């Protein structure tokens, strides 16, 4: 058996010690502000409390997902992140269906973005119960140990459209 000189062991122990400290100091935050505001690759507002209520937000512009036919507003999506100065407690995808003739396309885009947000914090696919709630316009909520995942629906007062929201809330 060959014994290594101590000069080789000391740097190895120091490297292990530094690595252990690094992992302890840089433990990942489940919902960091930077990750949450950038996870979809959309242009977002800066993380700020603009209403003076202590609630911080970053918000995307509306993304038109149907043609503007001049008589109805286009269907659109937006992404919202909300929390405190240093933490995120809610992620939300909002779909506004103004033109029901393009509902299926809007629904598919909504499911795609909702799945992308979900996959950024959960290794599994978006649960089929949530997808079914989107398709059937039903309110639905499920939870795991860290988050509540909800689909919320609201018809417009004029009956000509509706809003759907996919919301992830930190418990």
Please tell me the predicted confidence (pLDDT) of residue 99.
92
- pLDDT tens digit sequence for 125-146: 999 999 999 999 999 999 999 9
Mean predicted lDDT score pLDDT of the chain = 85
pLDDT band at 15; cut points 50, 70, 90:
very low
- Please give the pLDDT value at position 22: 38
pLDDT at position 72, please?
A: 81
Residue 98 pLDDT greater than 70, yes or no: yes
Q: Which pLDDT does position 100 carry in this prediction?
A: 92
DSSP state of 32: -
Ranges of each domain in the chain: 33-170
Nearest CA to 62 out of 98, 101, 116, 31 is that of 98
pLDDT, tens only, 42-79? 999 999 998 889 999 999 999 999 987 777 889 999 99
Distances (CA, A) of 31 to 18, 27, 56: 26, 12, 14
Question: d(Cα 83, Cα 37) in Å, to the nearest integer?
Answer: 11
Supply 35's token pair: 């990750």
Length of the chain: 171
């Amino acid at each position: 058996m060959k014994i290594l000189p101590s000069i080789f062991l000391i740097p190895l122990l120091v490297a292990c010690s530094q690595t252990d400290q690094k992992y302890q100091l840089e433990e990942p935050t489940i919902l960091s502000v930077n990750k949450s505001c950038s996870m979809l690759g959309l242009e977002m507002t800066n993380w700020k409390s603009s209403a003076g209520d202590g609630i911080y937000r970053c918000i995307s512009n509306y993304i038109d997902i149907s043609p503007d036919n001049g008589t109805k507003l286009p269907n659109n999506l937006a992404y919202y992140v909300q929390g405190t100065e240093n933490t995120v407690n809610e992620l939300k995808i909002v779909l506004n269906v103004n033109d029901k003739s393009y509902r299926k396309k809007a629904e598919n885009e909504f499911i795609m973005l909702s799945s992308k947000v979900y996959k950024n914090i959960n290794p599994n696919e978006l649960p089929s119960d949530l997808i079914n709630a989107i398709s059937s316009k039903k309110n639905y909520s499920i939870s795991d140990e860290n988050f509540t995942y909800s689909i919320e629906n609201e018809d417009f007062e004029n009956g000509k459209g509706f809003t759907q929201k996919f919301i992830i809330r930190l418990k």
